[in-house]
A and B are shown apart, each in its own frame.
Chain A
């Protein structure tokens, strides 16, 4: 039996890329959601959380349509920017980022909201800007929330199936991640390979959550 580690490597590449993007985008978005008093914020909040209840296939389906070369956006990207999104690794990343957004933003938002406003005000009275206060005072004090966001996004991306299948398909070396490889092996009745992929994913998921608990306990 020749076992292909490619899907596992791809899974981790996807999880790292997705998590990195979510850290960069999730911090400002979560902070804005936590402190802003704008009324249209109440429209953004459910949008961020929607992937929690929406079937992943719905998101994948519309992303596929949106970026398809036969529609305006897709044609523009393909002909002008020379980027193709459906059935590529880039497509997987975009889908995963949107799909894991609530796992990063919601813990961070709760962290920002629970952070005492008096400490924020104290930093302002010392002449510190909002940005300095965010990075030097608030974030270092809500590390458990940040770690939760990072780990949950990472773990959730590993476990993704529907979005990935819809927008990425099943192309070996390009979009065939571990979860899809398992489906593939089972369909081909190759249970041994499916067991290996599954076993590895179970162990990784457990270790990640175990480590997260340790980190958060130490932080308390």
Chain B
């Protein structure tokens, strides 16, 4: 069980903002903090990790109180059982892959984990290389498994896939989800990528202007609840063209481009770059905006 209550004044590009959040998460739950950049997502992770200090608040993980402003408790980063994956891989350039992983071990008896994890992410033959000799996807994979070697109570992932291209991102996500579920790790995940969190999260906290505006299962948060689609895919509009009386909307769903025919009233308010859901009712696919404007990725 994780309990977080935190207040902190932030200086964002839009001026000062007060971050004021409160949430809980269960063991093994995959919780996503979703919101625009500057909404305070990364700060929440950093406060949980002890890299940043709330002005007021309370952080508890598995019955250990890591931070309590009233009782003046503030555990140092090192003492908090976390695995942190940053946007940039942050591997140590002076160490090989294997050395990076060994360095992360809390208990040298766990060294056996290294081999298994390297195999799980298909990097066994790269273990003697230095980070500079790896592709960006390989580096991020090493970082993702390095975070597990301490056997942390909670994994904090700060947009770990953001610098990867789409194809790689999808593959990495699947691998990671699989590994993290197997290790029964609680995950707090930060992202502003709509399709990514739809797939990964058990629960989503929508963060805006420093507050949690909504919380719930992915389909509760994003889907327009009114439709009972046979299928629903989240995607992004890449192109819209008018042909005679109809519109052809090209939507990128994962790796695929899908063309959806839509009437003029359906495309009203849609534009290229919008996040949408492509859903099928009884017969033809319909297309509609995924979630209200204020949550759109800009």
Q: Residues of A at under 8 Å CB distance from B?
A: 118-119, 121-129, 136-137, 140-141
Contacts and interface: CB of A to CB of B under 8 A. Distances in A.
Contacts of A129: 78
Contacts of A121: 51, 77, 84, 90
Contact of B106 (A123, A124, A127): A127
Contact of A118 (B49, B90, B146): B90
A137 B150 contact: no
Most buried by A among B51, B90, B146, B147: B90
A16 B93 CA distance: 30
A113 B126 CA distance: 31
B77 A124 contact: yes
Q: Which 6 pairs between the two chains have the least Cβ-Cβ distance?
A: A125-B84, A122-B90, A140-B94, A124-B77, A126-B104, A127-B78
Interface string B130-148: 0000000000000000110
B23 interface: no
B154 to A, nearest CB: 11
Interface string B54-92: 000000000000000000000011110011101010101
A131 to B, nearest CB: 11
A125 B92 contact: no
A122 B84 contact: yes
Interface of B: 49, 51, 76-79, 82-84, 86, 88, 90, 92-94, 103-104, 106, 146-147, 150
Nearest to B81: A127
A34 to B, nearest CB: 18
Contacts of B146: 126
A140 B92 CA distance: 10
Contacts of B94: 137, 140-141
Most buried by A among B94, B103, B146: B94
12 contacts: A118-B86, A118-B90, A119-B92, A122-B92, A123-B92, A125-B82, A126-B104, A127-B79, A127-B150, A137-B92, A141-B92, A141-B94
Given A121-B51, A140-B94, A141-B93, A126 B86 contact: no
Most buried by B among A118, A127, A128, A141: A127
A145 to B, nearest CB: 13
Nearest to A141: B94
A217 B77 CA distance: 36
A125 B49 contact: yes
B93 A124 contact: no
A126 B107 CA distance: 12
Interface of A is mostly: helix
A17 B200 CA distance: 60
A140 B130 CA distance: 14
B150 A126 contact: yes
B64 to A, nearest CB: 15
Contact of B78 (A124, A136, A140): A124
A129 B84 CA distance: 16
A125 B88 contact: no
A122 B150 CA distance: 13
Nearest to B79: A127
A219 to B, nearest CB: 11
Nearest to B89: A122
A187 B171 CA distance: 79
Nearest to B78: A127
Most buried by B among A118, A126, A140: A126
Contacts of B88: 118
B190 to A, nearest CB: 15
Given A136-B103, A140-B94, A141-B92, A122 B86 contact: yes
Nearest to B143: A122
A119 B49 CA distance: 15
A127 B108 CA distance: 13
A129 B76 CA distance: 10
A218 to B, nearest CB: 14
A125 B78 CA distance: 6
A128 B93 contact: no
A126 B103 contact: yes
Contacts of A118: 86, 88, 90
A137 B77 CA distance: 17
A190 B83 CA distance: 70
Contacts of B90: 118-119, 121-122
B92 to A, nearest CB: 5
A125 B79 CA distance: 9
Contacts of B79: 127
Nearest to A118: B90
Given A119-B92, A121-B90, A126-B104, 11 more contacts: A118-B86, A118-B90, A122-B86, A123-B92, A124-B51, A124-B78, A125-B147, A126-B103, A137-B92, A140-B94, A141-B92
